[in-house]
Amino acid sequence: MKPMKRLLNLSLIALAALLVTACSADKTHFRLEGRIDNIDQSEFYIYSPAADFDGMDTIRVKGGRFTYERTLEHSMVLTLLFSDKGQLTLVAEPGTKARLRGDATRLGEAEITGTEANDLLTDLRTDIMSGSQQQTMLKAAHFIRSHKESPAATAAFLRYLANPDEGDANTTREMLDLLAQGQPNSLTVARIKERLTPFINTAKGQKLPKFSLPLLDGGRLESKQCTGQPLLFVFWAQWSSNSYAMMREARKMGQRFAPHLKVVYVNIDTDRHTCRTRAQRDTLGTNVVFDGEGPTGPAATVLGMRSTTEWFVCDRQGRITTRGTSTETMREAVEQACAK
């Protein structure tokens, strides 16, 4: 009997170890199960708006149902993109399972439940469903203040308040600071703050941040030199043909309003010779910023570059009054700045 008992004990130990291993593996997975009425087959996409992972995953719906699984090392915010039928933001946490239930005609109103964070987000979506944009932003800000320790607050921030150009940059900064206080160990919040801070600092209504940027032909452009007269900043790159129209229009504005307007051309190429050749050909003058580090270099970062077809205007106090990508809007913004 003793050998049999010993064998039984060893089997139980092996089974327990297997169960522990299985449970541990499960704690690294997030699972989303969905049921969508009035649809048979379709597909949509899921991605991380905070860039916790690259690219998009495809979710395929069959018979109105789908299952999505992902291995996670930490909680993250995900966005479900339903093509032209809207989008939903949710929280994915290791070792949890959430459920989506909705109708194909109103996917943006679908419920996601099963975890505390997603239950909170569903309640928030229901609360702001019919409100104006201003009401939505106010309610989202209140939600973040009330739940700053929860990843649901991070999801609400990304969905409703993460674009300082659409709302109030000061509110965006306040909400981001609250998230950092409430979730000091969150990798997602840290990544969002690092990415968004330059955009918040250079949004409409903000004063130019302090900087010292290298000029193409020597010397430096200092932020303290950017007051006393209106300024027009234009981003451009040799490989971006669409930026040339902005450069030509900026040069016309500089000539038209000289000497009252200062135009600064911010180049984001990495080759100095290429930049110098184009600057001389287009007679851009001496105010050409060039650091040789491309779109992620100091100049593009500190000035909050959104695209190579972008420009922004500062008033005489160095405050950003307008950002845009339209040549027509550029003319209007410069005329208004120079008229004051």
CA–chain centroid gap for 96, Å, is: 25
Q: Which two tokens stand for residue 139?
A: 């309610």
Q: What local confidence, expressed as pLDDT, does residue 129 receive?
A: 85
Find out whether 144 and 156 touch, Cβ atoms under 8 Å: yes
Residue of 261, 307, 249, 318 whose CA lies nearest to 287: 261
CA gap 158, 146 in Å, rounded = 16
- Return d(Cα 57, Cα 71) in angstroms, integer: 13
> Domain boundary at 201, 233, 258, which?
201
Which of 238, 282, 263 shows the shortest CA–CA distance to 331?
263
- Confirm whether 296 is domain-assigned: yes
Q: Residue 33 phi/psi, 5° resolution?
A: -110, 135
107 within domain boundaries: yes
pLDDT in tens, 110-129: 999 999 999 999 999 999 98
Q: What are phi and psi of 45, to 5 degrees?
A: -125, 155
Burial of 333 (0-12, 13-18, 19+ CB in 10 A): buried
Is 130 in the same domain as 277?
no
Say if residues 251 and 311 touch (Cβ distance below 8 Å): no
Asked if residue 332 belongs to a domain, the reply is: yes
Q: Note whether 111 and 237 are same-domain residues.
A: no
Please indicate, yes or no, whether residues 44 and 164 belong to a single structural domain of this protein: yes
Shared-domain flag, residues 114 and 188: yes
Are 148 and 121 part of one and the same domain?
yes
* Low-confidence residues of the chain: pLDDT under 50: 1, 18-25
- Provide the domain limits for residue 143: 30-201
The predicted pLDDT at position 131 comes to: 80
- Tell whether 78 and 223 lie within a shared domain: no
> In angstroms, rounded to a whole number, what is the distance separating the alpha carbons of residues 58 and 36?
16
The DSSP result for 78-118, as a single string, is: EEEE-GGG-EEEEEE-TTEEEEEEEEGGGGGG-EEESSHHH
| pLDDT digits 0-9 by tens, 59-68 | 999 999 999 9
Burial class (CB in 10 A: 0-12, 13-18, 19+), 157: buried
The rounded distance, in Å, linking the Cα atoms of 235 and 150 is: 38
For residue 45, the cross-strand partners are: 58, 81
Verify that 175 and 243 share a domain, yes or no: no
CA quadruple 214, 219, 220, 221: dihedral sign: negative
For residue 121, the one-letter residue type is L
78 and 117 together in one domain: yes
- Residue 3 domain flag: no
User: Do 218 and 186 share a structural domain?
Assistant: no
73 SS3 class: coil
Q: Is 21 contained in some domain?
A: no
* Distance separating alpha carbons of residues 98 and 96, to the nearest angstrom: 7
- Peptide bond preceding 259: is omega within 30 degrees of 0, i.e. cis? yes
Count of structural domains, the chain? 2
Domain presence at residue 20? no
Indicate whether 16 belongs to any domain.
Answer: no
Tell me, yes or no, whether 76 and 119 share the same domain: yes
Q: How far apart are CA 132 and CA 109, in angstroms?
A: 16
**Last residue in a domain, options 147, 178, 201:** 201
- Residue 317 forms part of a structural domain: yes
**In a shared domain, residues 288 and 167:** no
> Same structural domain for residues 122 and 237?
no
176, 201, 226 - which closes a domain: 201
Look up the CATH number of the domain holding residue 307. Answer: 3.40.30.10
**pTM, two decimal places:** 0.84
